[in-house]
Copies of this chain bind each other. A is one copy, B any other.
Amino acid sequence: MPSAILDAIYCRRSIREYTAEDVPPDQLHEIIRAGCWAPSGLNNQPWRFVVIRDAAVRRRLADQTHYGHIILAAPALIAVYLDPAAMYNDVKDHQAAGACIQNMLLATEALGLGAVWLGQILQNKDQVNTILDLPPHLDLMAVLAVGHPKHRNQTSQRKTVEELLLKEL
């Protein structure tokens, strides 16, 4: 069994502290490419991306969330959007965004990087579009903070399969 895949799924953790080392654009593009290979309903690929490495822009974005310290600490951000012009079903397109983001998180593991999925910033998604100079119709799904992990001592918990499996027929 090629356990690297399952290892990445089970061992991936949200990384919120980073070294000062930069993340070059080609690695950020690889993370986005991994996201793009998620499945989407009708293969509509509704996702769009913004890469942010500029420190001044990151400072402005940091003010839009309780987790601003993570945005300030991360050398790179990837904002994930849905383009309503490419969408066909809200629930399925939001699911597709989640599948895309999960691929991106796993790709950061594959590249030896760390990331965290930031969702609380959606409360100020209009302001985020203003800061990024994007048209208001684009719908922010999440911001990923990406960097080199300062450490890897994160732990996490999940319910067991037995708790979540409603029935077997």
- Give the B-binding residues of A (Cβ under 8 A): 1-6, 8-10, 12, 14, 25, 29-30, 32-34, 36-39, 41, 43, 45, 47-54, 57, 81, 90-92, 94-103, 105-107, 109-112, 117, 119, 122, 132-134, 138, 141-142, 156-159, 161, 164-169
Contact = CB atoms under 8 A, between A and B. Distances in A.
Given A9-B107, A95-B98, A133-B167, 5 more contacts: A51-B168, A90-B94, A94-B94, A98-B99, A99-B102
Given A95-B101, A106-B5, A25 B157 contact: no
Contact of A9 (B34, B47, B91, B117): B34
Contact of A49 (B98, B133, B165): B165
